[in-house]
Amino acid sequence: MADGPLLEVQDLRLAYRTSRGLVQAVDGVGFDLRRNEALVALGESGCGKSSLAKALLRVLPRNVERVSGQVRLDGEDLLALPKERLRAEVRWVRIALVMQASMNALNPVVRVGEQVAEPLRTHRGWSRVHAMEQAAKTFELVGVATDFLQRYPFELSGGMRQRVVLAMALVTEPEVVILDEPTSALDVLTQAGIMNVLKRIKTELGTSFLLITHDVATSSEIADRVALMYAGQLVELSSAAEFFSVPAHPYARMLMASVPRLREGERPQHIPGQPPSLLTPPSGCRFAARCPERFERCAEDPPAFALSERRRVRCWLYEREGEA
Amino acid sequence: MTQAVANVQSNDPLLAVEGLRTWFELRQWGFLRVGWVRAVDGVSFELVRGEAVAFVGESGCGKSSLARTLLALHRPTAGSVVFEGRDMGALEKASLKDYRARVGYVQQDPYGALPPFMNVRRLLAEPLIVHGVTDPAERERRIRAVLEEVRLTPPEELLYKFPHMLSGGQQQRIVIARALILAPHMVIADEPVSMLDASVRVEILSLLRRIQQERELTLAFITHDLATVRHFAERIFVMYAGRIVEQARVDDLLDQPQHPYTQALLTAIADPDADNARRARQVPGGEPPSLLNPPAGCRFHPRCPRVMPGRCDVDEPPLFEPRPGQRSACWLHA
């Protein structure tokens, strides 16, 4: 199996039209994802992380002004691919997307087994019986008893519905699964159960994950690498080991200090101020207004400095250490 | 501050709840009684003056129904709620109004809690008018004082703004100011920060905690987020399926959790650490039971890893005290 990146994103930009002007929700984001790797896109609400997920598969709302950049899957640019080919060869076949709150978007009048089998019938042309067999296998994989295949969504609890949605994404055995806030509406025990399922799938099937979340603790449950986003930009890309023990960007450090911890007596510290408006973003570093370490240089927009082969930080503090 | 004169002895509990049940009738077609949803089912505890506590549990465990019962928004089905020596169930309409003035309420969704057509000044004047503060100058003075207290300064800048012109954090500060303006002796905060951005949560909780200490209020947080609230409360009550399964001081609960449900809850909560990705968490499967038809005996027994058949599924465990000041409703301590 090739060791090169499976998915490569370069200079991805996405802007929305609004009544008050253009909102640059994703602004020059770039990263790569290898096989069997889990990358977490972490950020507060409004940082552009969900728009990023949608842009990758071009599942875009109508008010999108433009998308630019490159999203290469095994070298082929998905943004340049004709729509029919994207639908027939990529979506749900090689990359599956589980959108936020999709557990509430199951069809209420169709048995969940049929809904899970549907991608196989539409994308692969499998027979109903064959597809249902595969759906049953996937149910076992995500920890749902196979007699649930015959149930309707309203008969299942939230945690079970989330597992069904996961099964739906996994049934075609895609290489990449993108999950947008898969556990945010769930209880603590259910949440831990879902994360256990994701870990198992990663080991057993070798799937690559892109997990989008605002929750630092949850992100550490699966992350091999972390991409921290702030105001539409990627400000730090690090391995999980680096990010959770020695975060580099000042925002990353403050974010880690703001996380409430169960096993430490220290009270979390909040980050003063608010993220800038994406309608009129500041010209220099976007975090400068809230940053305790800002200096003259921060009036200019910092490039991403490479601290190591796969670690990048968008902050002037690292100008000497890293290469732009 | 102005009216916080203790009229009972300070070693008496401020609030004593005994055998409280809040059940909701479930009907079909509007008249056929199908059963009862036992949202709060046999809860007893005491709160003393000036302490901060938290009721922690998953959604559907009855913690919000408990809060609303304590606020006299639901009538208890059985049991008693004694606040400052008086039984809430026996209160007349007029004294119920007085009771509500002494118990403040901070809602979960600040935007939903603030009528959109009222400006800040009107929002804060409303409770004063309802509770008979007739002097406009006095109202104005108290509105400004409470705005200063929740750090919305200078008050002039905010008085004439409407809720939609404020950020989520500012809205929640207004909700807190409104809860405080009648100088309550107790404040109940139901998920006060779950609708807010992560970066302002700590700020709001710190504010509540500081005001609680300055005013010597009793503050009860209702929350699902144990990792956060443990920094802002002194005692924790863990709820499961309509009951309190464990109560203890924060450090005791975290160091030596006694009830198997508390133990499972603590195991399930992650602190950020790159090693988390390499191990599965040992959490019990299954889901919390239906409150319409809860299991016999201990309500956690169908999921409990240490269940003792013949006991846990038959008899309801009472609250044992396995360690001083720490109570747990589990037959393991018998």
Per-residue pLDDT tens digits for B127-180:
999 999 999 999 999 999 999 999 998 999 899 999 999 988 999 999 999 999
Per-residue pLDDT tens digits for B210-257:
999 999 999 999 999 999 999 999 999 999 999 999 999 999 999 999
Pairing of strands B235-240, B52-56: parallel
From chain A residues 192-211, the ones with a CB under 8 A of any chain B CB are 192-193, 195-196, 199-200
Round to the nearest angstrom and report the end-to-end CA distance of chain B. Answer: 45
Kindly give, in sequence order, each residue whose CB lies less than 8 Å from that of residue A179, ignoring residues fewer than 6 positions away. A98, A169, A198, A209, A210, A211, A212
Average of per-residue pLDDT across A283-287: 94
Q: Which residue from A191, A224, A262 is facing B271, i.e. has the nearest CB?
A: A262
Main-chain dihedrals φ then ψ at residue B204, nearest 5 degrees: -65, -40
Per-residue pLDDT tens digits for B82-93:
999 999 888 888
Residue that wins the pLDDT comparison between B1 and B270: B270
User: What percent of chain B stands above pLDDT 90?
Assistant: 72
* Cα–Cα dist B101/B138, whole Å: 17
ipTM, 2 decimals? Answer: 0.85
* Residue indicated by tokens 């909701």: B24
Q: Which residue from B227, B277, B280 is facing A223, i.e. has the nearest CB?
A: B277
| A313 close to A253: Cβ distance less than 8 angstroms | no
pLDDT of residue B10: 52
DSSP A287: T
Partners of B200 on chain A (C-beta within 8 Å) are 270
Q: Where are the alpha helices (DSSP H) in chain A?
A: 49-57, 83-85, 112-123, 128-141, 158-170, 188-205, 216-219, 240-245, 250-258
pLDDT of residue A3: 63
pLDDT of residue B7: 44
Class of residue A62 by CB neighbours under 10 A (exposed 0-12, middle 13-18, buried 19+)? exposed
From chain B residues 106-165, the ones with a CB under 8 A of any chain A CB are none
Q: Is B91 on the interface with A (CB under 8 A)?
A: no
Sign, CA dihedral B194-B196-B201-B203, equals negative
Distance from CA of A1 to the nearest CA of B (A): 23
